[in-house]
Structure 1
């Protein structure tokens, strides 16, 4: 598998949000040095724990600091945007950094009702994702009702952040997919939804063959206990969000351990850590090889976060050395 990174610009307790963005830029520069295939950023609105609300703006900064690594969105949430505007933003990026830009698109709405209202999104509005997908692509390829500018020699490739239903959209449209979450953790030797995507894939001008990228947290440390400890801040934040409705900044392991733990909280934290791949380098390689066999994936998009930036960078370094 090719190896890539998704960085969500996670904020940290006690540090300004700007430090999260600076950290993303530093990590992208390091990822390029390590030889990763891609470095993607995310779109989250009004979330205390995430500083990245505008992938195109952040990608422009990343492009200025790197020279080879592919840069993209994981992803732009189409329900929040007009297709023409999305196409224009990524055509500008492609014109500035030719051959290095990816457009990953998803369909998630805002995390809370006030955020959805601020985005002018109604949870009960008709689902126009498939049509929006086609419209964005038509503008990128210069075939839309109007001509999106700037025109470029080769439009940036599109990827679909896919749920089970999204896999069907992507197959029909002839687009690569990014999959994560529960679909990767079911029982069985193979994942039937991915096999169905490949079997029903309709070749497109840009993509003659199906392409699957799998996304999950991958943490490598000196041993399994240390890797689990490094995963704790992200797992804790996720558990807190289910309790409070607000996804918080990362906290240090020491601070987390001083706080009260309910049985439900411990169960949620343990489940989140269990859904990741973690351990020393050899343990992670074995687990990734097994996941590769189950999914037939072409690429891994590691979405790892932790409070300790040095440990995160070391995990990235160790991951880059694996032959998977």
Structure 2
């Protein structure tokens, strides 16, 4: 298999997708079990997300879920992909990650995003509006200052137990996120793989503007997107159907529904607009057999010079999803944590960056 993939860290972001016939608690338990499975396969990190009032997503409190995942695992890095900073006070975010890092030292990542609620109703319930994303750079600076003790907005206040801890921050690129990450000297997480040209421009801009910081001395790029591996190309494309249909439904009805079995989707009535979104949702991903995925993923890594790939795949069939992750681990030549393919940060022969 490709040496390019084998020298690139491989991680997973799970959105705790609800499956038809199951409920939110089952989805959260599935997330914890998946983290355990991926740890045994040698994946580098496992992140959870923040969504509010989405019918098909159970992950609404990433720091709480990250704590459950970290408690159920022992070696894989655990974090958020991400905590949406406009929805929260920076002090509270710092305190939460300070607690996580204190309980699970050396394993916690702080992925931060700049999105606000999905709909006007959600934003009102959160006490936010679209303009709250405009001061993201200032809120980010305050958040990082709570860890270093250098924030100036509240000189008599200290974030306990965060102050003095080094929880690695990552910035999710949306809008101007790549520029903000570069100026703050933070690692960048960018997706999706379908928008290749947009991704390449943002990565180039990020590297060109990057300023070394306490958090990262050099640019660090994580590319994120759907990657599916199956025995045949047809089987891989079948696994794409539930998420593609859910995306099409969200574009036409305003919310992601629970995932449904792929066999049902072909017989579902769709408007022309829904059908167009659905067909578009099937394209542009890295999907196929081991050989096809190795070739396609190697090309993306070479184009972006990515340090890490974060897989965001979801589908209805949990066992098929786990099989895809097993096959991908084989493509990437992953090994259990602590072996030669997962040396501590800075060791030679594994990755190009010493970032955790």
Q: Determine if the alignment matches structure 1 residue 261 to structure 2 residue 270.
A: yes
Residue aligned with 2:331, SS: coil
Q: Gaps spanning 5+ residues in structure 1: where?
A: none
TM-score (norm 1): 0.95
Q: How far is 1:253 from its partner?
A: 1.2
Look up the SS of the partner of 2:186 in the other structure: coil
| Alpha-carbon distance, 1:13 to partner | 1.0
Is 2:140 aligned against 1:133?
yes
Counterpart secondary structure, 1:215: strand
Say which of 203, 208, 213 aligns to 1:204. 213
Contact residue 113 and residue 173 of structure 2 kept, 8 A: yes
Matches of 1:185 and 1:266, distance apart in 2 = 23
Alpha carbon RMSD of aligned pairs, Å?
A: 1.6
CA shift at 1:258, angstroms? Answer: 2.4
* Deviation (angstroms), 1:123: 1.9
Q: In the TM superposition, what is the alpha-carbon distance from 1:234 to its structure 2 partner?
A: 0.4
| CA shift for structure 1 position 126 | 6.5
1:94 Cα deviation (Å)? 0.2
In the alignment, the residues of structure 1 paired with residue 201 and residue 243 of structure 2 have an alpha-carbon distance, to the nearest angstrom, of 29
What's the TM-score, normalizing by structure 2?
Answer: 0.87
Task: Describe the shift of the 1:126–1:323 C-alpha distance in structure 2 as closer, same or farther (beyond 3 A).
Answer: closer
Q: Give the match for residue 170 of structure 2.
A: 159
Q: Is the 8 A contact 2:193 2:223 kept in 1?
A: no
1:269, distance to aligned residue in structure 2 (A): 1.7
2:181 is the counterpart of 1:170: yes
Distance in 2 between the 1:151 and 1:78 partners? 16
Deviation (angstroms), 1:182: 7.1
Q: In the TM superposition, what is the alpha-carbon distance from 1:263 to its structure 2 partner? A: 3.3
CA-CA distance at 1:255 after TM superposition: 2.2
The number of residues matched between the two structures is 322
1:264 Cα deviation after fit? 2.7
Residue of structure 2 equivalent to 1:108: 115
Structure 1 window deviating more from structure 2 (264-273 vs 9-18): it is 264-273
Runs of 4+ with deviation above 6 angstroms: none
1:202-236 Cα offsets, whole Å, 9 max, x none, are 00012100000001011111111111111100000
Distance of 2:117 and 2:181 partners within structure 1: 22
Measured in 2, the distance between the counterparts of 1:123 and 1:306 equals: 31
Local SS of the residue matching 1:186: helix
Matches within 5 A, 1:17-28: 17-28=24-35
Instruction: Supply the distance in 2 between the matched residues of 1:137 and 1:79 (Cα, whole angstroms).
Output: 14
User: By how many angstroms is 1:273 displaced?
Assistant: 1.7
CA distance in 2, matches of 1:164, 1:211: 18
- Range with greater deviation from structure 2 (118-127 or 227-236): 118-127
Distance 1:151 1:181, change over 3 A: closer
Q: Aligned pair 1:6/2:13, yes or no? A: yes
Contact 1:183 1:191 in 2 (8 A): no
